[in-house]
Every structure is written in C-alpha cells, then in structure tokens.
Structure 1
Amino acid sequence: MSVMELREWWGLIEEARAACGSSAGDRDSADDPLPGEVLSRVAALPPSSIVAFGRCFSSVFDSAFLAPLWAAAYLIEGGCGDDGFMDFRAGLMLQGRSAFDAAVAAPDSLADLPVVQRMATTGKGWLGCEAMLYVARTAYTRSTGSPSGYDEALATRSPTRPSPARGERWDLEDDEQMRLHLPRLAALFLS
C-alpha cells in the first residue's frame, strides 16, 4: 500500500495550477482546465498511489468541515447546503495550499481571493468544484479499467469526518452576526 504525504498531495495540486497558468484560479470558466489537469496528473500515478491520493484528499477535505468556513461559503454563494459545501471545499483545494490553509484558519481570508472578489462585484462565478470530488476514483478507473479496487481500498477507511461541523456557529441569516464574524466577506457580499 502506498502512502502519500500531504506535501506530495499539495505538490500535485500546485503542479496542476502551474500548468494551467492564469486560468488556475478562475473557477468562473465553463471550460476550466484545472480539474482536468489534476485528473491527468493523478491518473498517471500507479493505482496504489491513486488510492493514496484519495485517502489524502479525504483527510484534507475533512479538515475543512468547519462551521465558520461553512458560514463563509453560505455568504459567498448566497446560501450553501450540504452538497454545496462539499463542492465548495473541493474547489477551495484547487485554490492551492496557502489559500486553503488560510481559509481553514480564518475563513474571512477568502475575501483576498480574486475569484471571490470577482463574484462579489459581478455576481458571477463560483468557488466550488464538484468534479474534484471524483478525481481519485475517475483516475483509478482510467488506470485500471474498473473502480472496484479503489472502492474496496477506501471502504476500509475509518470515517474521520466529524458531525456536525466543528467550530463556532451563528445564525447565517442574521446579517449582523455575519458582519461580526466575517467582516471582510460581509463587506463584499452584504449590502
């Protein structure tokens, strides 16, 4: 069984971002090249490394299951349910490690992302990326011809995702609470 270090996992994301150039942070394009670039890089790995990528993905993904980050997603997206928050966290990974780590530590830092600023001024775009949720499984299927080995390998993974989301909660419909907890994002998204 292959083990992938977080440094290596983030390295794959950063390499894909570099290959996409200025399009890497642009989640607004229907033909966004970044998810496909990540998929190509992961599919080139041996199957055991693809499984390791999937495990690492789950760990990073679960680390962002935080109520304050969900509140930020709610504000940015104009509402955000369970599926939307999954897409949001997956898309946040594609912004790169420094943006991801900053958002996990302080969700209001999302106000610094150009894609978020563009969303605030134009009302267009998104940060989420559903395709990223399926990269490892799709890459494994491309590599081996079947997803069954991937599914079996990940079925043994013990769930680490907390429920409910960790961290401080507040009323997401209360603009004053949003301004108090996420002042920079509130300044961008609340009138």
Structure 2
Amino acid sequence: LAIAQNHIGPSAYKQNDVIVALNGMTIEVVHTDAEGRMVLADTLTLTSRQKPDVIMDFATLTGSMHTALGDRMSGVISNRPALACQAVGAGVSSGERVVSFPFDEDYDSDLDSDIADIKQCTLEGGADHIHAARFMAKFIEHEVPWLHVDLSSYNRKEGLGAVQSSVNGFGVGLGLALIKQLLDQK
C-alpha cells in the first residue's frame, strides 16, 4: 500500500531537485504537487520485482483526467491494450465506467530531462494523465502487465448508483469485476 500526503518539511524535495529512485533511475522534480507518481514509482518497482501476473494501481493522480472526462467516468491506461479493454468491460459490468487512454511511446520525449534520466512531469499540462502513466511505466520491471486506474475524474456530488454521496468507493466494483474476469481466464 503506497500512500502519499503532500506536506512540507525540512526533508521535502523541491522543484529542480534530482531524486534517485529504487531502480536507480534519476528523476528531475518539476512540480512538488506530483508526489503520487513519485511514491508509485518505487512501489511499482517493488511490486514488479515479485513478478505478479498483473499489477493494478488505483490513484487520484491527475487533474487532466478530470479535464478530459468530467465527473461521470474515469480513465485507465495500460501497458497491455487487452488489459485496458478488459478494464473498460469491467467498468461497464460494475457500473463504474472507464475510458482507455493511449499509452504511446511518442509521449516519452516530453519527459526528457537535461539533468536526470526522466522528468517527473511537465509544466505544460495537456496530456498529464498520459505523461504520468509513461513516467510510472519506467519503473515496472520484468515486463509485468500493468493497469493504472486514475480515480481523480469520478467525484460526483450526486454519488454513484445507490450511494448518494461523493464518497462512493469508485474503483472497488471495477477492481473486483476485473479481478473476476482475470481469474476466470486462468
């Protein structure tokens, strides 16, 4: 379980700092509010070293996902197109709808750094949800299939289904439906 709380303190990193990740990659800190992907970087490395059949992460990671989709569904990005399609299907069956976003390598050049192996994000915004996924993928070892579910988009005051609150547990039903699909395939 990886949890980040964005608080300042004497050991906090600053913009333009270079951090060494668990896998040895150096990361240029571009924006201190992009702390979630920094925590996920080492978490994905640790998890992928266990060589699981699949990794799924659920995170309220990017505001650009909300900009892209509004508040009625959320997005997924995967290093395996078939896994992303399965997640979309699980979203339909669970009532927690998601859209699959591209995972193309041509977004990588936006994260090129002059002082480190990779930038943590860009300041230009735009496709930050895709940039975040491309960043996090650099920390997955052994080519483990991986799915990122960005939860930041779905936050409706009206709630979800029978849950009439913005605190609705979005992602639980989706995750369980997807796990069931994956287990049924075995």
> What is the TM-score with the length of structure 1 in the denominator?
0.29
> What is the TM-score with the length of structure 2 in the denominator?
0.29
Higher strand content, 1 or 2: 2
